C-alpha cells in the first residue's frame, strides 16, 4: 500500500485552505484538492508491505512530536505536475528538523529514500494550466501542529483519496 507521513490541518484552517484552492482554481485552472485531502507531506514512503505498514502505524501511534506553528505566507508552483501550493517564504526550520528526525526513524523500517531537498507545501491544485501565482492575494496563515499522521493513498478515477491509518499522541 502507498503511504506517507503528514500533518493534517486544524478544521478552521482546512476550510480557509479550501477557499484559497477555490480562488486559485478560478485563476489557474486544474484540479482542486478536496478540502478533506489537504495536508502537508513530511515523508513520502511509497509502496510498503502490509506487515511493515502495521509496524509503522504502531510506531506513529507511540511517537510524540514536538508542537510547532507553521507560518503560511507564500504561494508557489511546481512545474512538472502543474502543482500550485501554499507554504512558507523559506522552509520552516522546525519542520525541516521534524522531517530529518522522521527520516532517521524510518531507516529502522528499511525506508531509506530520504529526499535531498524538502520544500514544505500544501498542494491546492494539480494539473494547473497557469502557474502564475504572483497575481494571487497575499496570505498570512498560522498552522499550529502537534500530531503526526500516517496516511494511505488510494488512486481512484477522479484522483487520489486518503485514509489516515494512525496518529501520534497529541504533544
Ligand atoms: P504533492 O502534493 O507535492 O504531489 C500523497 O501523494 C502525498 O505524497 C502528496 O502530498 C504528494 O506530494 C506526496 N508525494 C507523492 N509522490 C511523491 C514522491 N514521489 N516523492 C515525494 N512526495 C510524493
Q: Are 59 and 46 a contacting pair, CB within 8 Å?
A: no
Looking at the CA of residue 123, tell me the nearest atom of ligand 1: 2
101 lines ligand 1 (CB under 6 A): no
153 lines ligand 1 (CB under 6 A): yes
Q: State the pTM of this model.
A: 0.96
What is the pLDDT at residue 80? 85
What is the pLDDT at residue 136? 96
Closest Cα partner for 168 from 42, 53, 63, 43?
63
pLDDT tens digits, residue range 29-63? 999 999 999 999 999 999 999 999 999 999 999 99
In order of their start, the domains of the chain are 2-167 (3.90.1140.10)
Closest Cα partner for 85 from 142, 39, 130, 124?
124
- How far apart are the C-alpha atoms of 14 and 9, rounded to whole Å? 5
The C-alpha cell that represents 74 in the structure block: 507564500
Alpha carbon of 134 to ligand 1 centroid (Å): 24
Mean pLDDT by 10 residues, the chain (171 residues): 98 98 97 97 96 97 95 96 96 96 95 93 97 95 97 89 96 74
What is the pLDDT at residue 53? 96
pLDDT tens digits, residue range 142-152? 999 999 999 99
123 lines ligand 1 (CB under 6 A): yes
Local structure of residue 23 (DSSP, 8 states): H
4 lines ligand 1 (CB under 6 A): yes
Task: Please tell me the residue having the least CA distance from ligand 1 atom 6.
Answer: 153
Q: Which burial class, exposed, middle or buried, applies to 38 when counting CB atoms under 10 A from its CB (0-12, 13-18, 19+)? A: buried
Task: Please tell me the residue having the least CA distance from ligand 1 atom 22.
Answer: 44
149 lines ligand 1 (CB under 6 A): no
Amino acid at each position: 500500500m502507498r503511504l506517507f507521513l503528514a500533518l493534517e490541518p486544524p478544521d478552521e484552517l482546512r476550510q480557509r485552505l479550501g477557499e484559497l484552492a477555490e480562488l486559485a482554481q478560478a485563476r489557474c485552472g486544474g484540479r482542486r484538492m478536496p478540502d478533506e485531502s489537504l495536508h502537508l507531506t513530511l515523508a513520502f514512503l511509497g509502496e510498503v508491505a502490509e506487515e511493515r505498514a502495521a509496524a509503522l502505524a504502531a510506531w506513529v501511534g507511540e511517537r510524540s512530536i514536538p508542537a510547532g506553528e507553521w507560518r503560511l505566507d507564500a504561494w508557489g508552483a511546481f512545474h512538472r505536475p502543474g502543482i500550485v501550493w501554499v507554504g512558507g517564504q523559506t522552509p520552516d526550520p522546525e519542520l525541516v528538523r521534524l522531517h530529518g528526525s522522521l527520516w532517521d526513524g524510518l531507516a529502522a523500517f528499511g525506508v531509506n529514500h530520504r529526499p535531498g531537498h524538502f520544500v514544505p507545501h500544501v498542494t491546492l491544485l494539480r494539473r494547473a494550466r497557469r502557474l502564475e501565482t504572483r497575481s494571487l492575494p497575499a496570505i498570512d496563515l498560522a498552522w499550529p501542529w502537534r500530531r503526526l499522521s500516517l496516511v494511505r493513498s488510494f488512486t481512484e478515477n477522479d484522483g487520489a483519496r486518503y485514509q489516515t491509518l494512525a496518529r501520534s499522541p497529541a504533544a
